[in-house]
Amino acid sequence: MSIGKALYAMIAVCALGATLIFTGPAGALQLITEKEAALPPMPVVHERGISRGPTIVVVSPSPNAGMVQSPVTLKIIFESHGSATINIDSVLVTYLKEPTIDLTQRVKPFIAASGIDVQDAQVPPGTHTLRVDVTDSLGHTNSTDFTFRVSQ
């Protein structure tokens, strides 16, 4: 086997391994690992004022859902205002733990100008708080924090 073919085979095996790590069983996305969930929670400070930034609506997990089962559907809607459009490259998804964990790269394939739509996000049991930050084409920003609980 030539060095080029061997290198190509090694890259393919690594890519397959990374896919299995990040997608878990049956193509589900491993949104939060057990190790990450075990970290201490970050104190959440609510300092929200009036914002001209995009509206962020958490559809699922519903804020009133109580306990949910994993895998969860993570559905968040972005609404821009006026002539602005959502800058999808500005979207940040952060798991509020000490230290904070940037989940953006995990959900990047599921981000669109209309929002985030992950159908099968694997999340361990426990209480989880996420922050979503969005900026529009006019530079207006907004963020929202939401908490959901996953049962055993």
Angle at 32 between CA 17 and CA 37, to 5 degrees: 130
Tell me the average pLDDT across 13-25: 40
DSSP state of 44: P
- Whole-model pTM over 0.85: no
Tell me the average pLDDT across 106-118: 97
Residue 66 confidence (pLDDT): 87
Tell me the average pLDDT across 108-134: 96
Q: Is residue 8 scored above 70 in pLDDT?
A: no
Considering only CA atoms, which of 85, 81, 78, 79 is closest in space to residue 52?
Answer: 81
Q: Domain of 7?
A: 1-26
Number of domains in the chain: 2
Residue 59: pLDDT band by 50, 70, 90 thresholds? very high
Same structural domain, 16 and 40 = no
CATH number for 117 = 2.60.40.10
Residue 89: pLDDT band by 50, 70, 90 thresholds? very high
Same structural domain, 57 and 88 = yes
Same structural domain, 113 and 133 = yes
Least trusted range by pLDDT, from 48-62, 71-85, 128-142: 48-62
Tell me the average pLDDT across 99-117: 97
Tell me the average pLDDT across 99-114: 97
Considering only CA atoms, which of 30, 27, 42, 16 is closest in space to residue 95?
Answer: 42
CA distance 49 to 151: 33
Residue 17 confidence (pLDDT): 38
Residue 48: pLDDT band by 50, 70, 90 thresholds? low
* Long-range CB contacts for residues 61-66, cutoff 8 Å, separation at least 24: 61/146, 61/148, 63/146, 63/148, 65/148, 66/149
